[in-house]
Amino acid sequence: MRTALFVTCLNDALFPRSGQAAVSLLRRLGVEVDFPSGQSCCGQMHWNTGYRAETARLARHFVDVFEGYDAVVVPSASCGGMPAEAYALAAESVGDAGLVRDVRALAPRVHELTTYLTDVLRVEDVGAYFPHRVTYHPTCHSLRAAPVGDRPYRLLRAVRGIDFVELPAQEECCGFGGTFSVKNPAVSGAMNGDKARHVLETGAAVLAAVDNSCLMNIGGRLARDGHGVRPMHLVEILARTPEDGPLPGLPVAATEANR
Amino acid sequence: MSRTFVGWPAFPEAAVAATSDEQLRANVTRATGTIRAKRARLVAERPDWEDLRDSAAALKNDVLAHLDSYLLQVEQKVTAAGGAVHWARDAAEANRIVTDLVRATGEREIVKVKSMLTEEIGLDNALEEVGISARETDLAAAIVQLGDDLPSHVVVPALHRNRAEIRDIFVREMGRHGRPAPEGLTDDPPQLAEAARLHMREKFLKAKVAVSGANFLVAETGTAVVVESEGNGRMCLTLADTLISLVGIEKIVPRWQDLEVFLQLLARNATGERMAPYTTTWTGVIPGDGPQTFHLVLVDNGRTRALADEVGRQALRCIRCGACMNICPVYERTGGQAYGSVYPGPIGAILNPLLKGPDDPQTASLPYASSLCGACNDVCPVRIRFTDVLLELRHQVAEGDAKVKHPAEKAALRAVGAVMDHPAAWNAAVRAAGKAGPLVPKNRLPGPLGGWTDSRRTPDIPKESFRAWWKRTEGGSR
Ligand code: SF4
């Protein structure tokens, strides 16, 4: 089984820790993971802004880089959903039948990380230890475009020592939406402000999600307002073990397990 | 002249004003939250809800696929039942037809019910120009009209107003248009309703001409249907001598029996009620009972344009329940007027560009007035896939022949795309970003990204990218 990590351009440039955590978690679970260095971006920004030909070019590139692998793991529901959701449509729009075929062949082997863990590796308890108060934001793509269902919750609840609190109004969009937040900053800012308020209501030390883009959006607001809540990709929580101990700088939650 | 949406600013601009209006946002949030919760409860009662949605979507698809023959059937049935059918290609034509019909009656004041389409075509102003005053009778529409305001929701046009504001409008305006508000009116809802009832009743009893819309038009029987909750529709539709119904050509359902599906969906999805209090149906003219003259005006006004759009035509399945706006986080922050149309929220974001063409800055801005979160897809009773249509329209704006271009954006995305499918260039770009990291301002990015940083801190750019780390350590194994 040849497994590749598609780290995504955002994680590559801005959130390398999530990629590193994904590598260490997958190795711990016995997966031999490769990082083909020709990879770049899934093209979602182009797709969502209406640029189909550009998306098709990036789809071609994605196929060239990954078609030799049995599985492609993506630590992002929104980027992980692109091959199945958009590539064939983008390829059709430029009349590239060969690309449509290649994309259809590859897309079923592309998995969002939590889905890969629960459905391909068939684990829920990944042996993680994280003795802190955590809340979780289900991103819109993880709810609807590439639905991961309750998988992240199942994985989180199996973490030792965790004090998990539900986020109020969790299914509401954080207002990122890629270029939406640039084109409509006022509305986006208002949505994000409400999301940040809900996060604070939980008293959590950590806000988790499966998309760093949304975490960057909510985290950017929390940081600007001077709040110490730490945004963390879910995989960074799952990667931590009892040997690592508590995460430095975070209050240890007062649960049974942590006493 | 009544206020209109003509010349309205593009969405992002209109939204700035709305998001900074605390009172408006509080009113909208409270109202949508209440309806949303009621709807969720009532929909959960129906185990066959998804089947109903499938049926509704399929029925409407059939109508749209054979619209020409259904329309001819409508014309034939309505004429056979003693009504007159008129065809209007656009707003100007529709206004001319209605104005002439009303003028022929010699009446100076008419009543209106369920008339979103008349708002779409600007009928009030056309009538005003020839000295005819048309008064809204739906409570919320009347509040908007009395307040010289614009609607903000398809089911609750005055959703952006709270009780105190409504009371002030009544006290200030009712007297100028008929029976004044009672002395000492407070903002107690029953008192407000009673004031509206007295004011309206006078109009119903006097009016000889009524203008209505219709929720559905049954092709098989030539029957028009209005669903409402206040009884004002029943009054208008039965008391007037002359009834003029303006109906969009997409409002058809094939058979009488199909109403079964739509009437079950509509009330639950719109207001969270099991059944709407009043459903009035009328078929032509019945001697001695109800209006003795009936005109049906079938209006296109961009609907065939929308129909020609393969992806977008699904927007014509809409039955105007308003659920998409009630669930939409963007609508909740802006209220409906920011969309610059009587059709706001997610349906407005797709329907307006489809009807009018995405060629001016206002309609071109609407497909981008969404974070693509997809919440609307889940609640639409006729299963409109908003996200698909939004993307199609964005494509038309970005790459099509539209006069509205985004040259800078296009160039930027092209450039980024070119870098991204050349590994060496991408490697270099990521490395450069890491080096430039400390130089990126924390609090305000320059250029088009500036708005983003108004309410957010930019993330720190790490010195070592993932790919650099992998290269250095081969994935941590070195
Ligand atoms: S688009 Fe769907 S949800 Fe929105 S108003 Fe129309 S029918 Fe209702």
Host H or E run for residue B209: strand B209-212
> Residue with structure tokens 């129906």?
B46
Ligand 1 close to Cβ of residue B226 (< 6 A): no
Q: Which residues 103-122 in chain A show a CB within 8 A of chain B? A: none
Q: What is the DSSP letter of A117?
A: I
Question: Over the stretch B201-211, which tens digit does the pLDDT of each residue have?
Answer: 999 999 999 99
- Asked whether B303 and B354 are in contact (CB, 8 A), the reply is no
* Whole-number pLDDT of residue B132: 97
- pLDDT, chain A, mean: 94
* Whole-number pLDDT of residue B447: 62
A170 pLDDT band, cuts 50/70/90, is: very high
Residues of chain A in contact with residue B16, where contact means CB-CB under 8 angstroms, are: 186
pLDDT, mean of each 10-residue run, chain B (478 residues): 87 91 91 95 96 98 98 98 98 98 96 93 96 94 93 91 94 95 94 94 94 97 96 93 98 98 96 94 94 98 97 98 97 94 97 95 95 96 97 88 60 66 66 62 61 77 92 83
* All residues at 6 or more sequence positions from B16 whose CB lies less than 8 Å from its CB, including other chains: A186
- Give A88 Cα–ligand 1 centroid separation in angstroms: 28
* Whole-number pLDDT of residue B1: 74
- Give B358 Cα–ligand 1 centroid separation in angstroms: 20
Host H or E run for residue A54: helix A52-66
pLDDT above 70 for A17? yes
Choosing from B380, B383, B386, B388 the residue with most ligand 1 atoms within 8 A of its CB, the one to mutate for a pocket test is B380
Ligand 1 close to Cβ of residue B382 (< 6 A): yes
Residues of chain A in contact with residue B349, where contact means CB-CB under 8 angstroms, are: none
* All residues at 6 or more sequence positions from B385 whose CB lies less than 8 Å from its CB, including other chains: B314, B377
Distance between A153 CA and the closest CA of chain B, angstroms: 20
Indicate which of A24, A25, A54, A218 best probes the interface with B, i.e. most B CBs within 10 Å of its own CB: A54
Reported pTM: 0.91
Q: In degrees, to the nearest 5, what angle opens at C-alpha B230 toward C-alphas B227 and B234?
A: 60
Q: Which residues 196-225 in chain A show a CB within 8 A of chain B? A: 216-217, 219-221, 223-224
Q: Does A172 touch chain B (CB under 8 A)?
A: yes
* Whole-number pLDDT of residue B458: 81
Distance between B33 CA and the closest CA of chain A, angstroms: 11
Ligand 1 close to Cβ of residue B153 (< 6 A): no
At B94, list the tokens. 């529709």
Indicate which of A14, A52, A140 best probes the interface with B, i.e. most B CBs within 10 Å of its own CB: A14
Question: Over the stretch B314-353, which tens digit does the pLDDT of each residue have?
Answer: 999 999 999 999 999 999 999 999 999 999 999 999 999 9
* Whole-number pLDDT of residue A1: 83
Ligand 1 close to Cβ of residue B319 (< 6 A): yes
Ligand 1 close to Cβ of residue B318 (< 6 A): yes
Average pLDDT value for residue range A93-115:
96
SS3 B180: coil
- Give B319 Cα–ligand 1 centroid separation in angstroms: 6
At B2, list the tokens. 């009544």
Ligand 1 close to Cβ of residue B323 (< 6 A): yes
Distances in whole angstroms, Cα of residue B316 to Cα of each of A167, B85, B87, B313? 37, 22, 18, 6
Q: Which residues 22-41 in chain A show a CB within 8 A of chain B? A: 23-24, 27, 33, 35, 37-41
* Whole-number pLDDT of residue A25: 97
Q: Does A20 touch chain B (CB under 8 A)?
A: yes
Tell me how crowded residue A84 is: count the other CB atoms within 10 A of its CB: 17
Average pLDDT value for residue range A42-60:
91
Ligand 1 close to Cβ of residue B384 (< 6 A): yes
Tell me how crowded residue A105 is: count the other CB atoms within 10 A of its CB: 11
A106 pLDDT band, cuts 50/70/90, is: very high
Q: Which residues 41-80 in chain A show a CB within 8 A of chain B? A: 41, 43, 45-54, 57-58, 60-61
Query: Mean pLDDT lowest for which of A150-154, A191-195, A222-226?
Result: A222-226
Q: Which of B155, B80, B91, B135 is nearest to B117 (CA)?
A: B91
Q: Does A13 touch chain B (CB under 8 A)?
A: yes
* Whole-number pLDDT of residue B194: 94
* All residues at 6 or more sequence positions from B417 whose CB lies less than 8 Å from its CB, including other chains: A43, A46, A51, A54, A57, A58
Distance between B411 CA and the closest CA of chain A, angstroms: 11
CA distance A44 to A179: 10
Check: complex ipTM more than 0.90: yes
Point out the ligand 1 atom lying closest to the alpha carbon of residue B351: 1
Task: Determine whether the interchain pair B375/A171 forms a contact, defined as Cβ–Cβ distance below 8 Å.
Answer: yes
Q: Which of A46, A182, A184 is opposite residue B417, by nearest beta carbon?
A: A46
Tell me how crowded residue B276 is: count the other CB atoms within 10 A of its CB: 18
Burial classification of residue B177, based on how many CB atoms lie within 10 Å of its CB (0-12 exposed, 13-18 middle, 19 or more buried) = middle
* Whole-number pLDDT of residue B455: 77
Q: Does A173 touch chain B (CB under 8 A)?
A: yes
Comparing alpha-carbon positions, the chain B residue that sits nearest to A142 is B373
Give the N- to C-terminal CA distance of chain B in Å, as an integer. 77
Question: Over the stretch A23-37, which tens digit does the pLDDT of each residue have?
Answer: 999 999 999 999 999
- Asked whether A155 and A234 are in contact (CB, 8 A), the reply is yes
Point out the ligand 1 atom lying closest to the alpha carbon of residue B379: 3
Q: Does A132 touch chain B (CB under 8 A)?
A: no
CA distance A121 to A32: 13
Task: Determine whether the interchain pair B333/A187 forms a contact, defined as Cβ–Cβ distance below 8 Å.
Answer: yes
Choosing from B382, B386, B387, B389 the residue with most ligand 1 atoms within 8 A of its CB, the one to mutate for a pocket test is B382
Ligand 1 close to Cβ of residue B321 (< 6 A): yes
- pLDDT, chain B, mean: 91
Task: Determine whether the interchain pair B413/A192 forms a contact, defined as Cβ–Cβ distance below 8 Å.
Answer: no
Indicate which of B386, B401, B409, B421 best probes the interface with A, i.e. most A CBs within 10 Å of its own CB: B421
CA distance B387 to B383: 11
